[in-house]
């Protein structure tokens, strides 16, 4: 894990391998941006000439390496593009991305100093978080050396002691987002409901949170027909896990519910080759919920947050759920399973009802729920549906503030009738057009009346199948962790109404 510090060391006294600076796109060429660190005009002048010679433009995400000019205690300077020059400063997301690009570009380095603009504590936090997220590597399954993360990162900022809180927040958030990424990237032969539950229990012990695991017997005794139904085709039995952070000063209680399908083959409604290779990702919602609850706890936010992880492996077998089977979900409502590949909503139905029993002030579920959401919003934006427009907008605002891209989606009443079943209270499969919204309409039925609820469909952005960018690696991204933590933070400060 990368170690992070803040210092106001003069650049000449650094002992780093590399100094990272920003470079913006100015009207007359690249403009070095050296932040709060004290760097003499002469150095800036020399850098400008060098950057121009080397063809730097300052475009967002661009990296240019140059030998450090005299007066900088590092061998190398890495200039990271910040986009258009802005006298008013760079927004937190631009700083996170630039720091992430730098950390990734310098993988394998020992000591790196970051001199990106850090005029405020928020900017320091953004640079720190971007650097921690950008230095993420997943090497658990490599026997060769593999990619190594930067070992030590130092952020240059004035008055470093005033930034202890910012650094701590970035550290916790960075570690927890990276925890979610690790869980998502872990293949399904090692991460299955029982081992996932054990990982939650271990983390709960480390940070002093109460963890309760419902094994298959407890699920049967409680009547959790959705989770049991989805899990019955697998030799790996399902689990429901509850992890709770409570705070003596809390005035609001949130419930986070995560879809934790450790592998989604589709079941008897089997997915074709081409659609099943990375279905280990289908527990990304549960990973996000776990990471968010742990982050909230480690930051000791004055808000009660309970996480519910609905864990099952969706497999075809002689004991698997059949299309046409009827399940009795927790609380008694029946569901006709017309498509076993629409399994996420079945496990979430149980978990939503169970979470609702504790009468939280709001419920948020997170799920890689539908391919339809990817068609609608692509792989960088998640959809937010809700039973309450004001709450939906709060969640979207929390995402924006946290630097995640979310977009409000409707729940059109007309689509509900496509879920009518001939034999049961509801079917799990309906109209294909607007399939993401149909799934949202299904889930809404399992939320207790009067409780604000939002549903985050992260099927697109949960897993990066393309090239790394900004602070986002390939593979598991940790999508939604920061949004949930931000929502908890907002709730701790201002309550829910
Ligand atoms: N886990 C999938 C959705 C998914 C697809 C997530 C691709 C990430 C990448 C989900 O369980 C699923 O199979 N959904 C079906 C629902 C349909 C059968 C109603 C879908 O979207 O096709
Ligand atoms: Mn599925
Ligand atoms: Zn699924």
> Is the C-beta atom of 460 inside 6 A of ligand 1?
no
Contact 469, 95 (CB under 8 A): no
> Is the C-beta atom of 347 inside 6 A of ligand 1?
no
Q: How many CA atoms lie within 13 A of 481 on its CB side?
A: 31
Nearest CA to 329 among 419, 440, 422, 445? Answer: 445
pLDDT of residue 69: 85
Cβ-based burial of 402 (10 A; exposed 0-12, middle 13-18, buried ≥19): buried
pLDDT of residue 133: 98
pLDDT of residue 160: 86
**359 CA to middle of ligand 1, Å?**
30
pLDDT tens column, 29-68: 999 888 755 555 557 788 888 999 999 999 999 999 999 9
> Is the C-beta atom of 428 inside 6 A of ligand 1?
no
Region of residue 10 (phi > 0: left; psi between -120 and 50: alpha; otherwise: beta): beta
Q: How far apart are CA 424 and CA 229, in angstroms?
A: 15
pLDDT of residue 237: 98
Residue 280 catalytic?
A: no
Ligand (nearest to CA of 262): 3
- Ligand 1 atom closest to Cα of residue 282: 1
**370 CA to middle of ligand 1, Å?**
4
The pTM (predicted TM-score) of the whole model is 0.97
Show the domains of the chain with their CATH numbers.
3-159 (3.40.220.10), 174-494 (3.40.630.10)
> Is the C-beta atom of 429 inside 6 A of ligand 1?
yes
Of 298, 333, 345, 416, catalytic:
345
Low-confidence ranges of the chain (pLDDT < 50): none
Ligand 1, from 279, 371, 377: best to mutate by most atoms within 8 Å of Cβ?
Answer: 371
pLDDT of residue 135: 95
Helix axes 92-105, 121-134, angle to 10 degrees: 40
Q: How far apart are CA 123 and CA 111, in angstroms?
A: 21
> Is the C-beta atom of 459 inside 6 A of ligand 1?
yes
**323 CA to middle of ligand 3, Å?**
15
Of 151, 168, 271, 328, catalytic:
271
Residue 345 catalytic?
A: yes
> Is the C-beta atom of 192 inside 6 A of ligand 1?
no
**341 CA to middle of ligand 3, Å?**
6
Contact 242, 212 (CB under 8 A): yes
**275 CA to middle of ligand 1, Å?**
9
């Amino acid at each position: 894990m990368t170690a992070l510090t803040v210092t106001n060391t003069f650049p000449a006294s650094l002992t780093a391998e590399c100094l990272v600076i920003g470079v913006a796109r100015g009207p007359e060429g690249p403009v070095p941006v050296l932040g709060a660190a004290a760097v003499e005009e002469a150095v800036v002048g020399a850098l400008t000439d060098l950057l121009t010679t080397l063809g730097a433009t300052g475009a967002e995400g661009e990296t240019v390496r140059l030998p450090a000019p005299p007066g900088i205690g590092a061998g190398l300077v890495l200039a990271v593009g910040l986009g258009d020059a802005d006298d008013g400063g760079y927004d937190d997301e631009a700083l996170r991305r630039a720091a992430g690009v730098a950390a990734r570009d310098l993988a394998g380095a020992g000591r790196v100093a970051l001199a990106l603009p850090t005029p405020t504590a928020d900017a320091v936090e953004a640079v720190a978080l971007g650097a921690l997220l950008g230095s993420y590597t997943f090497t658990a399954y490599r026997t060769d050396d593999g990619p190594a993360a930067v070992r030590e990162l130092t952020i240059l900022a004035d008055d470093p002691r005033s930034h202890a809180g910012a650094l701590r927040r970035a550290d916790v958030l960075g570690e927890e987002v990276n925890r979610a990424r690790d869980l998502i990237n872990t293949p399904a032969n090692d991460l299955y409901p029982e081992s996932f539950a054990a990982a939650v229990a271990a983390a709960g012990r480390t940070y002093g949170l109460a963890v309760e695991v419902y094994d298959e017997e407890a699920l049967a005794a409680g009547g959790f027909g959705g989770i049991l139904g989805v899990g019955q085709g697998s030799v790996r039995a399902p689990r429901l896990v509850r992890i709770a952070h409570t705070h003596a000063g809390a005035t609001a209680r949130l419930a986070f519910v995560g879809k934790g399908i450790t592998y989604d083959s589709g079941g008897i409604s089997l997915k074709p080759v081409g659609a099943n290779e990375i279905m280990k990702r289908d527990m990304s919602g549960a990973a996000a919920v776990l990471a968010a609850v742990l982050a909230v706890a480690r930051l000791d936010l004055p808000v009660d947050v309970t996480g519910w992880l609905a864990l099952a492996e969706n497999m075809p077998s002689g004991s698997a759920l059949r299309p046409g089977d009827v399940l009795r979900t927790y609380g008694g409502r029946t569901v006709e399973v017309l498509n076993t590949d629409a399994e996420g909503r079945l496990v979430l139905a149980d978990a939503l009802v169970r979470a609702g029993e504790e009468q939280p002030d709001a419920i948020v579920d997170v799920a890689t729920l539908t391919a339809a959401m990817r068609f609608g919003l692509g792989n960088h934006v998640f959809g937010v549906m809700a039973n309450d427009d004001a709450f939906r907008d709060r969640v979207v605002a929390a995402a924006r503030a946290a630097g995640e891209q979310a977009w409000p989606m409707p729940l059109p009443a007309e689509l509900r009738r496509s879920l009518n079943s001939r034999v049961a209270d509801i079917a799990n499969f309906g109209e294909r057009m607007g399939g993401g919204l149909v799934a949202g309409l299904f889930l809404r039925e399992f939320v207790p009346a009067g409780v604000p609820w939002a549903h985050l469909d992260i099927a697109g952005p949960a897993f990066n199948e393309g090239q790394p960018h900004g602070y986002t690696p390939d593979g598991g991204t940790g999508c939604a962790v920061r949004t949930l933590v931000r929502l908890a933070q907002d709730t701790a400060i201002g309550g829910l109404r």
